[in-house]
Structure 1
């Protein structure tokens, strides 16, 4: 089992790093920043991820009878935003990838500051290391993105040659990661049935997706990105906190892993359905700008 867990960590790292590097190789700084100039959209994105979704997690943890470890896990994923899977989900959905990368970046940065402030209020007695969370997210997500952007800016030919390889490695790593997560956590997920945990997780994800879609602005492509980005939580940050603060309560980590698996099972097909309905500009992979909700 330890070998499988090591492989899961390696495939997760490979997926996150190659995804971020690939996105950097295919975009420019101006493309990422442009969607974030919409102050209203950014404000709504922050509000839904750091006010609405944590409130939903807190409410579900009180309304649905749950074990204490599951309550803790639900609050962890409810407060951690900025998932590395978002650009891949946006790509599958044929949505606004530049907005997805920009949104992921800003959510990740806010999460680093937000978690140490909010979690002690929701979970009295917990201590959250902002530095530990920041280092993990910066090294695995921000650094590869910046490296890709620099290569794209200075050596566009090399970037064009590298990008397909990064995309392939990212996709293969994701498939292997999903298989391993299922193998490692299948029994844990089955064990959660009948406890209310699966129902709470599904309700949480569905409400988060709907809230993101409703607040995602007038364009369908940004609605889809915010829906997917709000539904997919930052499991990296949740894992760090669960490991460092709840080592004596292993079911917290089990729940976070199970919730991550449930989220993938729900969100990747959702992204695929968005992609089937998407209208793209002929000859490109970019969504049409005129889509309305």
Structure 2
């Protein structure tokens, strides 16, 4: 628990007392967090490759992948709905909501249930989240924000 609470408290404290340092540090820490998540995901899959393949194959027949996909899309929708007044903010929160806490879930699952195989299910969910989030981001990338369209309409040609 300390591994989750202490960094959160340190970041909040830094942001309160030194916001000028918090923003640049947050960018670097986000890069480190994403890299370590990717490494952890690859390690969980590769170190347990047979179990991962068995888990993925078993999920194909149960509808679990469909449920995971619906869960991720519902997360995107919730993030969009509560994302604020601008499309930009809604898009950011929607994608952020869809991709949250896989690293925490892996940390808890591997610590509390090391022999259960639940880590492979979480890794599968992470892959589904990544694929769905990339598809949503690609869809949005092809459609400019209405604020961008309005701002370019006022520029003389």
| TM-score (normalised: structure 2) | 0.64
Measure how far apart 1:234 and its partner are: 1.0
Aligned-partner SS, 1:194: helix
Structure 2, unpaired ranges of 5+: 152-157
Contact 1:212–1:223 (CA under 8 A) maintained in structure 2: yes
Q: In the superposition, relative to structure 1, how do residues 213 and 181 fare at CA in structure 2: closer, same or farther (>3 Å)?
A: farther
Contact 1:219–1:290 (CA under 8 A) maintained in structure 2: no
Query: 1:194 pairs with 27, 47, 61, which one?
Result: 61
Contact 1:201–1:259 (CA under 8 A) maintained in structure 2: yes
Q: In the superposition, relative to structure 1, how do residues 259 and 194 fare at CA in structure 2: closer, same or farther (>3 Å)?
A: same
CA RMSD of aligned residues (A): 4.1
Q: Which has the higher contact order (CA 8 A, sep 6+)?
A: 1
> What residue in structure 1 maps to residue 122 of structure 2?
256
Which structure 2 residues correspond to residues 117-266 of structure 1 after superposition, within 5 A? Answer: 130-135=1-6, 138=7, 142=11, 149-150=20-21, 180=42, 184=46, 187=53, 188-249=55-116, 251-266=117-132
Contact 1:246–1:252 (CA under 8 A) maintained in structure 2: yes
Task: List per-residue Cα deviations over 1:89-113 (Å, max 9, x = no partner).
Answer: xxxxxxxxxxxxxxxxxxxxxxxxx
Contact 1:219–1:289 (CA under 8 A) maintained in structure 2: no
Q: In the superposition, relative to structure 1, how do residues 290 and 241 fare at CA in structure 2: closer, same or farther (>3 Å)?
A: farther
> What residue in structure 1 maps to residue 155 of structure 2?
none
Aligned-partner SS, 1:230: helix
> What residue in structure 1 maps to residue 136 of structure 2?
270
Measure how far apart 1:279 and its partner are: 4.0
CA distance in 2, matches of 1:261, 1:274: 20
| TM-score (normalised: structure 1) | 0.37
Contact 1:242–1:252 (CA under 8 A) maintained in structure 2: yes
Q: In the superposition, relative to structure 1, how do residues 289 and 219 fare at CA in structure 2: closer, same or farther (>3 Å)?
A: farther
CA distance in 1, matches of 2:19, 2:138: 26
Task: List per-residue Cα deviations over 1:6-60 (Å, max 9, x = no partner).
Answer: xxxxxxxxxxxxxxxxxxxxxxxxxxxxxxxxxxxxxxxxxxxxxxxxxxxxxxx
CA distance in 1, matches of 2:131, 2:80: 19
